[in-house]
Structure 1
Amino acid sequence: MNFEDLFEVTGSEVECEEAPFVAERSVQAVQRRRFSFDCVPYSQEPAIQNVSEAEVLKRLDVLQGLQKDYINRLAIIETALKENVPDKSEVQAQSKLLRECRVIGARTHQAISRITGDMEDEEYLDLASKLPMSSIEHLATVEEKLKNRASADVMMRLLVKARGVKGTVDGVLRTLLHDDLARDYDLEGRKGKKSLISLKCVDIVFDVFAEKPKQSVLDYIRRYVALSHNRHKQKLCKLKKKVVLSVNN
């Protein structure tokens, strides 16, 4: 079939032939249908507004002025931060000095008490009676007391005294915590254990050994935890042996 037989252009109308669907083995009739098209003129883009070179330069000058202003403000903020924020090494040195002063103060108080024969105050006797702590209840009571600075100073005096007798981190911690309580704790609180270094009473141990590097004290505490768990296991084994012997007898 020729393409011209299907389409005819007449004015603004286009004629085409359509073959509608008919039943099987029937003759397909060709019908003509007219379609109307409205021609819309092509819309041109709006003309770009002409800006003079002087206006462009003026706007650039404004932007450069704002940029310089922002740079000056950032420089002022940066200078203020450098002046107000101390160096990390300086903060660590000041913290170490503060801890050493607290230890010296506790030792001085202890020496004066021995010389004058003054009796310890009620707070001192109350905290001393709870050491070594063997239950969660005692530990919770002491931790609540240590929120008070006066009680924290009393605990410092107790642990400084313990260091004078025991001499080691392990000895001070054994004065502070019983193995029955320490079994539930780990250094960082792993494997279902509670964190030991999160306790306020253990934080005072760092102050007692302020002259030692913090990492060194952490290593001693980690060693104490391992030895404490081992001592508790040995205690349970001995207890089981006693029970078995008593049953057999």
Structure 2
Amino acid sequence: MAQQKTVSECKVPIKRIHNSICRMTGEEVDDQQTEIASTLPLTTLEPAFEVEEKLKCQEYLTGMKLFVSRKKVVSDSVEDVLRHMYTDDFLLLCNWGGRNGKQSLSQFSLASNILYDTFMLHGFTSFEKQMRKSIELSHHRSKQKQYRKRKADENSCSQVA
């Protein structure tokens, strides 16, 4: 419930920023793009499954492809676009193939179809390598965050004693 409150609180600033950018560039305000921007990056599996259900609608699928292609224009890196789609905490629950009891990211059409369609110039093998590397880097970032937090907690405990 707290997560939903945070998302709804984020929708207002995102919509304002989107409106401002659209006025500067002369584009029309697209409510669907604003909705997509407010749901991403995905933080848990539940919203990811909800997005998968929404992607069955052709209009939402087209909007998501447009959103991802706009992110690709900013950065032509699979890793950077993936970071806009999923948080490091979410990717810690996943890997590309679904091994070791983790969720398979390749089964999500957002990752396997939409991102692949956006980065298909180099072929599926290259895309898969880039996805695996990006997920590995995400896992490393999460572990580093946990390590830093544990070190900070140890330091604060030693200063108290």
Which one of 196, 203, 224 corresponds to residue 134 of structure 2?
224
Correspondence list, 1:160-239, <5 A: 160-202=69-111, 203-239=113-149
Which one of 55, 77, 80 corresponds to residue 146 of structure 1?
55
Distance 1:114 1:207, change over 3 A: farther
Aligned partner letter, 1:168: S
User: Structure 2: how far apart are the matches of 1:164 and 1:211?
Assistant: 14
User: Structure 2: how far apart are the matches of 1:127 and 1:118?
Assistant: 16
Aligned partner letter, 1:236: Q
Deviation by residue 1:148-190 (Cα, 9 ceiling, x = unmatched) = 1111111111111111112111111111110000011111101
Residue 242 of structure 1 is matched in structure 2 by: 152
User: Structure 1: how far apart are the matches of 2:67 and 2:127?
Assistant: 18
More helix by share: 2
Kindly indicate whether the alpha-carbon contact (under 8 Å) linking 1:127 and 1:142 is maintained by their aligned counterparts in 2.
Answer: no
- Structure 2 residue runs without a partner (length 5+): 1-22
User: Structure 2: how far apart are the matches of 1:138 and 1:246?
Assistant: 35
Moved over 4 A (4+): none
Deviation by residue 1:77-136 (Cα, 9 ceiling, x = unmatched) = xxxxxxxxxxxxxxxxxxxxxxxxxxxxxxxxxxxx985421122x22111111111112
Correspondence list, 1:1-249, <5 A: 116-121=26-31, 123-202=32-111, 203-249=113-159
- Structure 1 residue runs without a partner (length 5+): 1-112
Q: Based on CA coordinates, which of the two structures has the bigger radius of gyration?
A: 1
User: Structure 2: how far apart are the matches of 1:151 and 1:117?
Assistant: 19
Residue 224 of structure 1 and its aligned partner are, at CA, apart by 0.8
Residue 196 of structure 1 and its aligned partner are, at CA, apart by 0.7
User: Structure 2: how far apart are the matches of 1:115 and 1:236?
Assistant: 41
Distance 1:149 1:247, change over 3 A: same
Deviation by residue 1:171-221 (Cα, 9 ceiling, x = unmatched) = 111111100000111111011111111101112000111222111101100
Kindly indicate whether the alpha-carbon contact (under 8 Å) linking 1:133 and 1:177 is maintained by their aligned counterparts in 2.
Answer: yes
Aligned partner letter, 1:158: F
Query: How many positions carry a matched residue from both structures?
Result: 137
Aligned partner letter, 2:150: K
User: Structure 1: how far apart are the matches of 2:46 and 2:103?
Assistant: 15
More strand by share: 1
Aligned partner letter, 1:243: D
User: Structure 1: how far apart are the matches of 2:40 and 2:66?
Assistant: 13
Kindly indicate whether the alpha-carbon contact (under 8 Å) linking 2:120 and 2:127 is maintained by their aligned counterparts in 1.
Answer: no
TM-score w.r.t. the length of structure 1 is 0.52
